Amino acid sequence: MSRHFFLFLSKNKALNKSAKKWGLRLGAAKVVAGVTIDEVMQSIQQLNEQGLKATIDHLGEFVTEREEAENAGSACLDILEAIKRNNIDSHVSVKLTKLGLDISRELCMENMRSILDVAKTNGNFINIDMEDYAHYHETLDILLELRQKYDNVGTVMQSYLRSGLDDLDPLQGIPLRIVKGAYQEDAAVAYQDKEDIDANFLCMVEKHLRNGGHTAIATHDHTIIEAVQTFTRENNIPTEQFEFQMLYGFRQELQHQLADEGYTFRTYVPFGQDWYGYFMRRLAERPQNIVFAVRGMISK
Ligand code: FAD
């Protein structure tokens, strides 16, 4: 089964709808930290106790109903409140299409402003996940508009995009997470070969670090992690200027190893009923994940 097949499945609206009723099936519980806020708080408390910071993602994307987008905004406020109440060390990651971007930019901006106001009061940080290329330029545009008022917001840049390196220019000084990119994009805009994507990843990390911007290196790829460790050491980049990030449930040993070596490490912790698209993208990335998906199916 190929990457394209799972990326195709990830967009299937009927399966996505049914999956919400299934609970965390197909092995999703290995990579999704529960369905409720209480469950995700418990998972993060455990991570914090082990020296790992977190960023919470309330799963869901490509929302087309106004009410759903408004509920998503309120859910983010509840999450910020729960982080404060439970005194846990976690940022929040959001997707603009969950907050109504496909319905209207104004609705999405209203949601973002409410979230950022509360986050600022609580001393928290909001990261805007990068979605597919159809939303890329508008996401960057919204980020720049929000940055005029808020300094507690950043975004994600994808190294599979051919323009990724140049697109860093207007983002100097803004906290960025660098990733390879999780969506299926046309060869006209995105590199298709791992070698090109990896090389661009390193160039983007080095450029943003050299420009003084806080950089999150978000990958499970040990070769890239080692290259970044060498670069930061040789160029005297202070450890406060960067951090490593990985997804919940992936390479836990390496997550702890990096934290034990003294690097800031942040786990991306997704939760919620809307796990289907996220889970399919993880299957697309790494076919080995199918093994625990099948085990999950059998044990149900
Ligand atoms: P891959 O290219 O998948 O793997 C490279 C190599 O690493 C493999 O060949 C293998 O040797 C090793 N490896 C990888 N996984 C494992 C494993 N589980 N066990 C053992 N070895 C392994 N994408 C977006 O488009 N937008 C986002 O906003 C976004 N946010 C993200 C946030 C975080 C914290 C992370 C970690 C990823 C995010 N992604 C996002 C997903 C990202 O774009 C990639 O799709 C995903 O991380 C897979 O690429 P990779 O860098 O981990 O390396």
Q: Ligand 1 center to residue 3 CA distance, Å?
A: 13
Q: Is 233 an active-site residue?
A: no
Among the listed residues 114, 117, 17, 126, the one whose alpha carbon sits nearest the alpha carbon of residue 65: 17
Atom 11 of ligand 1 has which residue's CA nearest to it?
Answer: 221
Q: Ligand 1 center to residue 67 CA distance, Å?
A: 32
The reply, when asked if residue 223 is annotated as ligand binding, is: no
Catalytic residue among 102, 177, 198, 274: 177
Q: Determine the Cα–Cα distance for residues 173 and 98; give it in Å rounded to an integer.
A: 26
Atom 18 of ligand 1 has which residue's CA nearest to it?
Answer: 250
> Residue 23's pLDDT is what?
60
User: Count of residues for the chain?
Assistant: 300
pLDDT at 266 over 50: yes
Atom 50 of ligand 1 has which residue's CA nearest to it?
Answer: 219
Q: Name the band, by pLDDT with cuts 50, 70 and 90, for residue 276.
A: confident
Atom 14 of ligand 1 has which residue's CA nearest to it?
Answer: 220
Q: Find the mean pLDDT for residues 56-75.
A: 93
> Residue 13's pLDDT is what?
73
Q: Find the mean pLDDT for residues 28-41.
A: 91
- Interface confidence: ipTM more than 0.90: yes
- Give the model confidence (pLDDT) of 194-223 as tens digits: 999 999 999 999 999 999 999 999 999 999
Q: Find the mean pLDDT for residues 119-125.
A: 98
Is 37's C-beta closer than 6 angstroms to any atom of ligand 1?
no
**In this structure, is the dihedral angle defined by the CA atoms of residues 96, 100, 104 and 109, taken in order, positive or negative?**
negative
Ligand 1 atom at minimum distance from 266 CA:
34
Q: Are 120 and 150 in contact (CB under 8 A)?
A: yes
Ligand 1 atom at minimum distance from 194 CA:
2
Q: Is 177 an active-site residue?
A: yes
Q: Name the band, by pLDDT with cuts 50, 70 and 90, for residue 269.
A: very high
The topology under which CATH files domain 33-274 is TIM Barrel (3.20.20)
Ligand 1 atom at minimum distance from 93 CA:
28
> Residue 296's pLDDT is what?
52
pLDDT at 168 over 60: yes
Q: Find the mean pLDDT for residues 242-262.
A: 97
Under DSSP, the state recorded for 52 is: -
The reply, when asked if residue 130 is annotated as ligand binding, is: yes
The per-residue pLDDT of the chain, averaged, comes to: 92
If residue 276 lies in a helix (H) or strand (E), which one and from where to where? helix 276-285
Q: Ligand 1 center to residue 247 CA distance, Å?
A: 8
Q: Determine the Cα–Cα distance for residues 101 and 131; give it in Å rounded to an integer.
A: 11
